[in-house]
């Protein structure tokens, strides 16, 4: 399935990506974190309930993964994880995804789970800790798969967690899943920036390979009654997946994302800019919007608006009364 050549190509891609990024590890203090360590800045923002700031800091962590091995103490896993270079930082999952999993622990216990885009492995490992029978986790980053393996050993769940590397030749959702392989639950905190113009997939960018193929193969790869749990967490891609899945006939439940992230503004602005340039007879690459340079807003919030009535359970039988911002669940049709 994985030739050394393919693996090397994927590794080269990630080395290149890592080189483009700031070398500042996300756990260290930077001016952007107010001069304190990122974890401390996150804890402070979480404590004061400043969700937009939490998301800004998480995006900062995501765009500056460490270029060296670092340790991260996970409160949910109860172990210190070893994070390998370029691996997506686990703070976002710890803050947003694992609380959802905790509240639905009985839903995961005894189930077979597939995770798409495992990063450090934190979600798969937690599902396993909560009693999932078997977890298969995929990623396009070889260091993510290695990180999952090492941390599975730390947690003592190697026999129940399997990592599979997705190669550049096929980055669709079930590229490394057998034709008839099925799971009770599919869970993913996927790359949330849909950018059809991107040349590469990255931890943040889905160039169109992943989300749509995920829906197309869902009925084939979920067991009867199976459910997909997705955390897109930025309004455009989240709503697009909700609408597309419903259009395809799936039963979908959704707790809306808090707002639009800058990368979505950038993509949407540029799309419309294309029409403006064409109308004005300007070259189509005359200029572009850039989310950083143009200071496009981070998470323009819609928090004042109630999209989901309280008690809209994302999973049948789990009336937690909470709102899980940015989550959606999709039930297998049959």
Ligand X SMILES: C[S@@+](CC[C@H](N)C(=O)[O-])C[C@H]1O[C@@H](n2cnc3c(N)ncnc32)[C@H](O)[C@@H]1O
Burial 206-228 (b: 16+ CB within 10 A, else e): bbebbbbbbbebbbebbeeebbb
151 belongs to the binding site for ligand X (CB under 6 A): no
- State how far the Cα of 88 lies from the Cα of 143, in Å rounded to an integer: 10
β-pair partners for 328: 230, 254
- Helices assigned H by DSSP within 114-177: 122-129, 142-155
The answer to whether the beta carbons of residues 260 and 233 sit under 8 Å apart is: no
User: Which range in 5-13, 30-38, 185-193, 304-312 contacts ligand X by CB under 6 A?
Assistant: 185-193
User: Which range in 42-50, 125-133, 203-211, 266-274 contacts ligand X by CB under 6 A?
Assistant: 203-211
The answer to whether the beta carbons of residues 62 and 203 sit under 8 Å apart is: yes
Nearer Cβ to ligand X, position 53 or 92?
A: 92
What does the block give as tokens for 238? 């989240």
118 belongs to the binding site for ligand X (CB under 6 A): yes
Residue selected from 74, 167, 189, 234 as contacting ligand X according to rule CB under 6 A: 189
Residue selected from 117, 142, 163, 259 as contacting ligand X according to rule CB under 6 A: 117
108 belongs to the binding site for ligand X (CB under 6 A): no
The answer to whether the beta carbons of residues 65 and 21 sit under 8 Å apart is: yes
146 belongs to the binding site for ligand X (CB under 6 A): no
* Span 210-239, contacts to ligand X by CB under 6 A: 210
Residues 6+ apart with CB under 8 A from 219: 332, 333, 334
- Which residue in this structure is represented by tokens 């897109």? 232
70 belongs to the binding site for ligand X (CB under 6 A): no
Sign of CA dihedral 57, 235, 13, 124: positive
123 belongs to the binding site for ligand X (CB under 6 A): yes
The answer to whether the beta carbons of residues 258 and 51 sit under 8 Å apart is: yes
256 belongs to the binding site for ligand X (CB under 6 A): no
Question: How many beta carbons lie within 10 A of that of residue 292, not counting itself?
Answer: 10
Residue selected from 203, 211, 259, 262 as contacting ligand X according to rule CB under 6 A: 203
User: Which range in 47-55, 64-72, 91-99, 235-243 contacts ligand X by CB under 6 A?
Assistant: 91-99
DSSP 3-state assignment of 183?
Answer: strand
187 belongs to the binding site for ligand X (CB under 6 A): no
Nearer Cβ to ligand X, position 136 or 171?
A: 171
- State how far the Cα of 326 lies from the Cα of 234, in Å rounded to an integer: 7
Nearer Cβ to ligand X, position 141 or 151?
A: 141
Name which of 135, 143, 122 is nearest 80 in CA terms. 122
Residues 6+ apart with CB under 8 A from 21: 63, 64, 65, 67
26 belongs to the binding site for ligand X (CB under 6 A): no
User: Which range in 2-10, 29-37, 186-194, 253-261 contacts ligand X by CB under 6 A?
Assistant: 186-194
Nearer Cβ to ligand X, position 33 or 118?
A: 118
Residue selected from 138, 147, 151, 256 as contacting ligand X according to rule CB under 6 A: 138
Residue 254: CB minimum distance to ligand X, A: 19
Residue selected from 119, 163, 226, 259 as contacting ligand X according to rule CB under 6 A: 119
Nearer Cβ to ligand X, position 64 or 118?
A: 118
141 belongs to the binding site for ligand X (CB under 6 A): yes
User: Which range in 119-127, 152-160, 292-300, 323-331 contacts ligand X by CB under 6 A?
Assistant: 119-127
Sign of CA dihedral 77, 258, 260, 28: negative
Question: How many beta carbons lie within 10 A of that of residue 65, not counting itself?
Answer: 26
Nearer Cβ to ligand X, position 191 or 326?
A: 191
Binding site for ligand X (CB under 6 A): 88, 90, 92-93, 97, 116-120, 122-123, 138-141, 144, 166, 171, 189-191, 201, 203, 209-210
């Amino acid at each position: 399935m994985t030739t050394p050549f393919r693996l090397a190509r994927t590794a080269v891609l990630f080395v290149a990506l890592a080189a483009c990024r700031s070398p500042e590890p996300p756990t260290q203090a930077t001016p952007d974190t107010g001069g304190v360590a990122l974890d401390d800045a996150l804890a402070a923002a979480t404590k004061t309930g400043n969700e937009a700031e939490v998301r800004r800091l998480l995006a900062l962590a995501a765009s500056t993964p460490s270029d060296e091995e670092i340790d991260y103490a996970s409160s949910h896993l109860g172990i210190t994880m070893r994070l390998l270079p370029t691996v997506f930082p686990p703070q976002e999952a710890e803050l947003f995804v694992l609380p959802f999993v905790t509240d639905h622990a009985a839903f995961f216990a005894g189930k077979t789970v597939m995770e798409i885009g495992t990063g450090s492995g934190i979600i798969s490992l937690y599902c396993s800790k909560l009693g999932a029978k078997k977890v298969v986790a995929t990623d396009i980053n070889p260091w993510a798969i290695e990180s999952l393996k090492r941390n599975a050993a730390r947690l003592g769940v190697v026999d129940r967690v399997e990592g599979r590397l997705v190669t550049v030749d096929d980055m669709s959702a079930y590229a490394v899943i057998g034709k008839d392989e099925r799971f009770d639950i599919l869970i993913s905190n996927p790359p949330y920036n849909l950018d059809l113009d991107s040349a590469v997939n990255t931890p943040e960018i889905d160039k169109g390979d992943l989300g749509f193929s995920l829906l197309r193969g869902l009925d084939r790869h979920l067991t009867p009654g199976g459910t997909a749990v997705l955390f897109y967490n930025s309004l455009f891609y989240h709503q697009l997946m909700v609408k597309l899945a419903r259009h395809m006939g799936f039963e979908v439940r959704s707790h809306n994302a808090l707002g639009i992230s800058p990368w979505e503004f950038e993509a949407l602005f540029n799309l419309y800019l294309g029409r403006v340039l064409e109308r004005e007879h300007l070259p189509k690459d005359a200029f572009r919007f850039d989310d950083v340079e143009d200071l496009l807003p981070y998470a323009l919030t819609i928090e004042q608006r109630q999209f989901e009535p309280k008690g809209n359970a994302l999973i049948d039988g789990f009336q937690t009364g909470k709102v899980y911002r940015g989550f959606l669940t999709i039930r297998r049709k049959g």
